[in-house]
Amino acid sequence: MAIHIVLVEPEIPPNTGNIARSCAATGSVLHLVEPLGFSIDDKSLKRAGLDYWPYVQVEIHPGLDAFLKQYEGRNMYLATTKGSRLYTEVSYQDEDMILLGKETAGLPKELIQANEDKAIRIPMSEETRLRSFNLSNSANIILFEALRQLDFPNLR
């Protein structure tokens, strides 16, 4: 069993490193959709992932279109502040994919509009001026809800 975390054009190495560490610790699959805002060899990326990198199942895709074509028909949820449903209102299944966009812009608007029924969000205060939560925090919040619903498969 596995949940797939898909980072579309991530820009900040430590965020990706933190998510990679979570994927290693949970047996989740990490997908990186190019272009990336850093090199895979970036020291800060490696440092954030610490010694977990050998345990991360990572797939790198040359672009969003290539990723979507390769995984056509798979169940995908789009994490966005524009989602109509809360991330907790979804019934996650084995092999579901959770897509998160780049830190400065999120997921492409066209993708969200074409998949509004799969757009999910994390609730946050309307009184603040925050645009969104940190990418790695958001990925972990949603990942652990999915794993909780699946009764934390293969985790102790």
**What is the model's pLDDT at position 44?**
66
Given a cut of 50, the residues of the chain with pLDDT beneath it are: none
Rounded to 5 degrees, φ, ψ at 42 are: -55, 130
- Residue 123 CA: distances (Å) to CA of 68, 104, 108: 27, 19, 20
- d(CA 109, CA 127) in angstroms, rounded, equals 24
**What is the model's pLDDT at position 53?**
80
- d(CA 32, CA 60) in angstroms, rounded, equals 5
Catalogue all structural domains in the chain, each as residue range(s) with its CATH number: 4-149 (3.40.1280.10)
Is there a contact between 3 and 139 (Cβ–Cβ < 8 Å)? Answer: no
pTM equals: 0.93
**What is the model's pLDDT at position 48?**
62
**What is the model's pLDDT at position 131?**
73
Helix, strand, or coil here: 156?
coil
Binding site for S-adenosyl-L-methionine, residues?
Answer: 101, 122, 132
Amino acid at 21: R
Binding site, residues?
Answer: 101, 122, 132
**What is the model's pLDDT at position 132?**
80
Instruction: Classify the C-alpha dihedral 97-112-10-139 as positive or negative.
Output: negative
Give 88-127 pLDDT, tens digit per residue: 999 999 999 999 999 999 999 999 999 999 999 999 887 7
